Chain A
Amino acid sequence: MEVLFWWTIFPYICGTILIVATFYRFVYRGKSWTAPSTEIFEKKWLRVASVVFHYGIIFAFVGHVMGVLIPIEVYNALGVEDEVYHFFAIAGGGVAGLMVVIGLILMLIRKFLFPRVRVHTTGGAYFTIIWLLLVAGLGTYMTLIYNTTVGEYEYRLSIAPWFRSLFTFQPKSELMLGVPRLFKVHVICSFILFAAIPFTKLVHMFSFPLRYPVRAPQQFRSRNGYNKNNR
Chain B
Amino acid sequence: MRIKAQVAMVMHLDKCIGCHTCSVTCKNVWTNRPGTEYVWFNNVETRPGVGYPREWENTDRYKGGWVLRNGKLHLRAGGPLSKLANIFYNPNMADLNEFYEPWTYDFQHLHKRDKGESIPVARPRSMITGNFIDKPEWGPNWDDDLAGGSESVPNDPNVRKLQEHVKTEYEKTFMMYLPRICEHCLNPSCVASCPSGALYKRDEDGIVLVDQDACRGWRFCTNGCPYHKVYYNWNTHKAEKCNFCYPRTEAGLPTICSETCVGRIRYIGVVLYDADKVKAAASVEDPKDLYESQLSVFLDPFDPEIIEKAQEQGINSSWIQSAQESPVYKMAIKWKIALPLHPEYRTLPMVWYVPPLSPIMNHITNEQELSAEGYIPAVDQMRIPMEYLASLLTADDTTVIRKVLLKMAAMRVYMRSKTVGGVDAQKMTKLMDEASTTGEELEEMARLLAVAKYNERFVIPTGRREMNDDLYYKQGTCSIEDLAPPEGMTTYPFERSEHA
Residues of A near any B CB (own CB < 8 A): 30-31, 33-43, 46-47, 50-51, 53-55, 115-116, 118-120, 204, 207-209, 211-213, 215, 217-227, 229-231
Shortest Cβ distance from residue A35 to the other chain B in the assembled complex, whole angstroms: 5
B295 within 8 A of A: no
- A218 near B88 with CB under 8 A, answer no
Contact partners of A223 in chain B: CB under 8 A: 202-204, 463, 467-468
* Given A30-B213, A55-B88, residue A219 in contact with residue B203 (CB < 8 A): no
How far apart are the CA atoms of A118 and B217 in the complex, in Å? 19
How far apart are the CA atoms of A43 and B468 in the complex, in Å? 45
- Which single member of A42, A207, A218 contacts B192 (CB below 8 Å)? A218
- B197 near A31 with CB under 8 A, answer no
Shortest Cβ distance from residue B345 to the other chain A in the assembled complex, whole angstroms: 15
- A43 near B95 with CB under 8 A, answer yes
Shortest Cβ distance from residue B308 to the other chain A in the assembled complex, whole angstroms: 22
* Given A115-B129, A116-B96, A213-B84, residue A34 in contact with residue B215 (CB < 8 A): yes
- Which single member of B84, B195, B237 contacts A34 (CB below 8 Å)? B237
How far apart are the CA atoms of A222 and B83 in the complex, in Å? 27
Contact partners of B213 in chain A: CB under 8 A: 30-31, 230-231
Main secondary structure of the interface of B (DSSP, over half): loop
Which residue, of B96, B463, B467, has the highest number of chain A Cβ atoms within 10 A?
A: B96
- B203 near A222 with CB under 8 A, answer yes
* Given A40-B232, A209-B216, A230-B214, residue A119 in contact with residue B130 (CB < 8 A): yes
B101, closest chain A residue (CB): A116
- B81 near A120 with CB under 8 A, answer no
B214, closest chain A residue (CB): A231
- Which single member of B187, B197, B236 contacts A219 (CB below 8 Å)? B197
How far apart are the CA atoms of A31 and B215 in the complex, in Å? 8
- A51 near B192 with CB under 8 A, answer no
Shortest Cβ distance from residue A121 to the other chain B in the assembled complex, whole angstroms: 12
- B80 near A213 with CB under 8 A, answer yes
How far apart are the CA atoms of A101 and B199 in the complex, in Å? 35
Query: Could you list 18 A-B pairs, sorted by A, with CB under 8 Å?
Result: A35-B218, A40-B96, A47-B91, A51-B88, A51-B89, A116-B96, A119-B128, A204-B217, A209-B197, A211-B197, A212-B83, A218-B191, A218-B201, A221-B201, A222-B203, A226-B481, A229-B214, A231-B213
Shortest Cβ distance from residue B475 to the other chain A in the assembled complex, whole angstroms: 15
- A120 near B200 with CB under 8 A, answer no
Contact partners of B95 in chain A: CB under 8 A: 39-43
Contact flags B193-237 to A (C-beta < 8 A → 1, else 0): 011111111111000000111111111000000000000101011
How far apart are the CA atoms of A100 and B242 in the complex, in Å? 39
Instruction: Identify 19 new A-B residue pairs, CB closer than 8 A, beyond the known A34-B215, A208-B87, A212-B195.
Output: A36-B237, A39-B219, A41-B128, A41-B234, A115-B131, A119-B130, A209-B84, A213-B79, A213-B84, A218-B188, A219-B199, A219-B201, A221-B203, A223-B202, A223-B204, A224-B468, A225-B203, A227-B486, A229-B197
Contact partners of A40 in chain B: CB under 8 A: 93, 95-96, 219, 232, 234
* Given A40-B96, A51-B89, A230-B213, residue A209 in contact with residue B201 (CB < 8 A): no
